[in-house]
Amino acid sequence: MDEKSTQPAQPAMTNPRAVRRARPLAIITLLLVVAFTLFRYQTAHESRIHGFNELLHSSSSPPSSNSKLVPLEAHIISKCPDTRDALRELILPVMQKVHDKVDFKLSYIGKPTDDDDGVECKHGPSECLGNIIELCARELYPDPKISLGFVMCLTKDYKHIPERALIEDCALEHAIDIKDLNECATRDSGAHGMDLLRSSVQRTADANVTISCTIRLNDEVYCIRDGGEWIDCPHGPGVNDLVLAIEKVYRS
Ligand SMILES: *[C@@H]1O[C@H](CO)[C@@H](O)[C@H](O)[C@H]1NC(C)=O
């Protein structure tokens, strides 16, 4: 949403000219290019794993499947500075404090295309591919300490999503197997990755969410990061505000 700096009030998906078509064929072509390059890289660097994010990979246990976990969800698109800001300023610090109390989910914003089972992404096919890679990381590594760390690593450099070098570096940093990531994104000629993206954008559409990044707590909008600012945050956009709100729901 880089163009939003000049149009701060522009919601994510309302300008039809800003929505470029991401057809399955375009996605599959991109996937095959990425698949090939990732595979080449992977064979050369198979044993090199380093640089764990110390905060995210601290010695805590993964979340249990306790039914009392509080639903916390961020609706994002991969190539967006508001996604970066929301993850960096709010979601990550909050997760470091209360990850054992929340059921965290990242969902994507886009438009399912009826005629060809594709998805339109605001920043075009490359953003759809970035979204698919992030969804695959989540499928392979359900523990948010790994998958959210990987997404944070990518989003810090969102303009370069889905370039090979960035994906490789972030995968190495978070101990994500690039071969598995590649297999997920390209399975059934890309149909599997596209299915993940279509169900995710449908989930977002069902929640009536259109702005990246919208944060929902307990299935209600908690706060929105848009155009470089926090908007619609009645309980406050601070880390402690959200931590307190989560603990309140957790106790109830
Ligand atoms: C989304 O909007 C529709 C139409 O306005 C409404 O019927 C539905 O209840 C809304 N869903 C949620 C989860 O807010």
Q: How far is the CA of 202 from the centre of ligand 1 (A)?
A: 13
Place of tokens 């470091």: 96
> What does the pLDDT read at residue 115?
83
Q: What is the pLDDT of residues 139-176, one digit of tens each?
A: 999 999 999 999 999 999 999 999 999 999 999 999 99
Cβ 208 under 6 angstroms from ligand 1: yes
Q: How far is the CA of 205 from the centre of ligand 1 (A)?
A: 9
Q: Quick check: 30 pLDDT over 70?
A: no
The rounded mean pLDDT for the chain is 83
Q: How many other CB atoms are there within 10 angstroms of residue 152's CB atom?
A: 20
Task: Find out whether 155 and 127 touch, Cβ atoms under 8 Å.
Answer: no
Which residues pair with residue 118 across a beta bridge?
113
Q: How far is the CA of 209 from the centre of ligand 1 (A)?
A: 10
Q: What is the mean pLDDT of residues 204-221?
A: 97
184 preceded by a cis bond (ω within 30 of 0): no
Q: How far is the CA of 229 from the centre of ligand 1 (A)?
A: 25
d(CA 110, CA 123): 10
Q: What is the pLDDT of residues 89-146, one digit of tens each?
A: 999 999 999 999 999 999 999 999 988 889 999 999 999 999 999 999 999 999 999 9
Cβ 220 under 6 angstroms from ligand 1: no
Which residue's CA is the nearest one to ligand 1's atom 13?
207
Which atom of ligand 1 approaches the CA of 207 most closely?
Answer: 13
DSSP per-residue codes, 119-156: EEBTT-HHHHHHHHHHHHHHHH--SHHHHHHHHHHHHT
Which among 202, 206, 208 is the best mutation to test ligand 1's pocket, defined by most ligand atoms within 8 Å of the CB?
208
